[in-house]
Amino acid sequence: MHLSENDNKKLSPIILKLSRKYVNGDVFPPHISVNGGARMELAEAKKAAIECVKGIPKIEVETSSIQYSDKWIKTLYIQIKENPDLIKISKRLDKIFRKDKPPYLLNPHVSLLYKDGMSALEKRELAAKIKVPNKFLVSSIAVVTSENVNDPKDYGAWKVVCEKELE
């Protein structure tokens, strides 16, 4: 799920600054993942994404806190409070993307940095310094693929192939 243009303007400079300082300078759009890891035809994935947001207006989400973890995908992130619309979208996608797999574990967050090997102290200090808005507006759903299928951590190769505005 992509955030509004206004929220992107607030978060993108933070992501860029962190990426330049701690990794290779590649950036990614601020987003909330509601499902992932699907291996299917692109046309089917696009259709599913568009279908799953039918009838859902733009979603206001609230910030819970700035967190960090040992997981690459959650190096440093904004934890988002549970939201019924995000849950609904994730469950709708589960029915299509994860038919024979366990459900996607939705833990809504906006990643700020992806990096292996940072110390907990360094992440904690960063988390304490970063200031973000209390609310964000989720404005669209996107289907993202990677041009580097051998390395999912190469977010410079991530590519938005479909985007649908929420109603």
pLDDT 10s digits, 9-21: 999 999 999 999 9
pLDDT-wise least confident of 25-34, 70-79, 144-153: 144-153
- How far apart, in whole angstroms, are the C-alpha atoms of residue 92 and residue 90? 5
Which pLDDT value is given to residue 39?
Answer: 81
Residue 37: which pLDDT band, with cuts at 50, 70 and 90? confident
- How far apart, in whole angstroms, are the C-alpha atoms of residue 167 and residue 158? 26
Give the residue among 30, 148, 150, 43 at the shortest CA–CA distance from 159. Answer: 148
The pairing of strands 158-165 and 76-80 is unpaired
* Average pLDDT over every residue of 34-57: 92
Which pLDDT value is given to residue 87?
Answer: 96
**pLDDT value at 152 more than 90:** no
Chain segment 77-133, per-residue pLDDT in tens: 999 999 999 999 999 999 988 888 888 999 999 999 999 999 999 999 999 999 999
Percentage, residues of the chain above pLDDT 70 = 100
Higher pLDDT among residues 61 and 40, named by residue: 61
Domain that holds residue 45: 2-165
CATH of the domain at 78: 3.90.1140.10
The count of domains in the chain is 1
Residue 51: which pLDDT band, with cuts at 50, 70 and 90? very high
Which pLDDT value is given to residue 104?
Answer: 92
- How far apart, in whole angstroms, are the C-alpha atoms of residue 154 and residue 45? 21
